[in-house]
Amino acid sequence: MKQIDLNCDMGESFGAYTIGMDPEVMAHITSANIACGFHAGDPLVMDKTVKLAKEKGVGIGAHPGYPDLLGFGRRPLTCSEAEITRYVIYQVGALQGFCRAHGAEMQHVKPHGALYLDAVENKTVARGVAKGILALNPDLLYVALAGKKGETMRQVGAELGLKVVYESFPDRAYTPEGTLVSRKLPGAVISDPNEVAQRAMAMAEGYVVAMDGTRIELEAHSLCVHGDNPAAVALVKTIRHHLEAGGIQVMPMGRT
């Protein structure tokens, strides 16, 4: 029986500010990427989110980002490899504290926003992130981009001895070369729920239909979904139902 994980960014609220519909989404996903206070999240939010994930049997992951709350971690910040490694240790360590407080195991680490994109593009950044994970706990899964473009990022993780989880995006168009179509181009983001659900199904089965209609292979262990608004939450439900109806086991990446 085929298996797939559904991962979603969680715990992005901060102080009086709320982002995301965490309680609603947590019921449908299998892995949570929890912000660690640098680009989003705070100690109270982290505590609550770890607790909620544990209650729902959702795999707990750290979602470290650049130290840029003002930019929500979406802006590239030039950092050395050593800086990135230490930023990752700090953030993942902090989240690890809340896991221990709730008797929960941490499952994975997925870099956030610009840190993720920079890790895809830049070996130094990818190595910085991977070394941070390694220093903390080599058993933590390292979530990296599936497809051709993610090769470097995944290779860096694998060479350092990390278990790498490939993630793909059911709501994003792919080129025939197996890379994400830039968000700046029309059709890059797919909004029809049924189409997204079908693409999720295809990804669970190991392929994706590229923008030009070509069917290309794409190895993916986890699908990235979103939970910022009611439509997004509904979409997550649709994806999950579609996958399960199609005979796919939806489960945390750490159990597949």
Given the rule CB under 8 A, which residues bind a second copy? 14-19, 37, 40, 42-44, 46-47, 67-72, 74-79, 82-83, 86-87, 89-98, 100-101, 114, 135-137
Q: Which is nearer to a second copy, 157 or 178 (CB)?
A: 157
Q: Which is nearer to a second copy, 35 or 203 (CB)?
A: 35
Adjacent-strand bridge partners of 4: 250
- In the chain, what is the straight-line distance between the N-terminal and C-terminal CA atoms, in Å? 11
Q: Which is nearer to a second copy, 72 or 116 (CB)?
A: 72
State the Cα–Cα distance between residues 52 and 65, nearest whole angstrom: 22
Beta carbon of residue 77, minimum distance to a second copy (angstroms, whole number): 5
- For the CA atoms of 70, 76, 78, 83, what is the dihedral angle to 10 degrees? 70
Beta carbon of residue 143, minimum distance to a second copy (angstroms, whole number): 19
Give the total residue count for the chain: 256
Question: Are the CB atoms for 33 and 63 separated by under 8 Å?
Answer: yes
Q: Which is nearer to a second copy, 83 or 151 (CB)?
A: 83
Beta carbon of residue 99, minimum distance to a second copy (angstroms, whole number): 9
**Which position has the token pair 């607790």?**
51
Q: How many CB atoms within 10 Å of residue 3? A: 16
Beta carbon of residue 14, minimum distance to a second copy (angstroms, whole number): 6
State the Cα–Cα distance between residues 119 and 113, nearest whole angstrom: 10
Beta carbon of residue 5, minimum distance to a second copy (angstroms, whole number): 25
Q: Which is nearer to a second copy, 18 or 182 (CB)?
A: 18
Q: Which of 221, 217, 118 has its CA nearest to residue 164?
A: 221
Beta carbon of residue 144, minimum distance to a second copy (angstroms, whole number): 21
State the Cα–Cα distance between residues 64 and 112, nearest whole angstrom: 6
Q: Which is nearer to a second copy, 52 or 210 (CB)?
A: 52
Which residues neighbour 79 within 8 Å (Cβ) at sequence distance 6 or greater? 66, 87, 125, 128
